[in-house]
Structure 1
Amino acid sequence: MLRHEFQPGRLIAGTALVAAAVVYGGDAGGAWETPWFVVIPLVVGGLCLAGGVGAVTGLVRRRRGRPAPEGTDTADHARTTGG
């Protein structure tokens, strides 16, 4: 039994931030030389992608009639699902 819902947007955001940490970690460890501005597109792009995926996931879940995740407006959820 799952303890929580799978949230792909959070997975993508975490992956992007871990990738940024690996890039800076390799630079700090002397494995390679990384300019300071390289991580900005990685983090911003990953967070934008995660936001888009999260929005699409929310729309798909509402359309299928699944319960909304905690923290969402229950009145809006009841109006869209008829409950």
Structure 2
Amino acid sequence: MLRHRFQPGRLVAGVFLILAGVIYAGDAGGLWETPWFVVIPVVVGGLCLAGAVGVVARTVHRRTVHRRRGAPHTGQPDESRADPSG
């Protein structure tokens, strides 16, 4: 049993940030020359892709959970889990 849900958006963000680190490490090690502005599109593009993957993963997870419960997904919060004190 997993201790937490798999979050592919965080995985994608991590991969792109590691890629940015490898790009700078290669430049610092003298393996290649990298202009300073090259990493900006890598990081920004990776974060945008990670956000999109996160939204898709959340949508799929919510639909899967509602399908298992047998209730149709309406986009509204489940009232059976509402706070009884409020």
TM-score w.r.t. structure 2 length? 0.76
1:69 counterpart residue number: none
Paired residue for 2:29?
Answer: 29
Task: Assess if the C-alpha contact under 8 Å between 1:62 and 1:77 holds in 2.
Answer: no
- TM normalised by structure 1 equals 0.78
Give me the whole-angstrom Cα distance separating, in 2, the residues matched to 1:47 and 1:77. 28
Taking the aligned partners of 2:60 and 2:77, their CA distance within structure 1 comes to 13
Query: Gaps (5+ residues) in structure 1?
Result: 67-75
Structure label with greater radius of gyration = 2
**Which structure 2 residue ranges, 5 or more long, are not aligned?**
67-75, 82-86
State the AA in 2 paired with 1:11: L
Q: What is the aligned length?
A: 72
Which runs of at least 4 in structure 1 moved beyond 6 Å after TM superposition?
Answer: none
Distance 2:62 2:45 in 1: 26
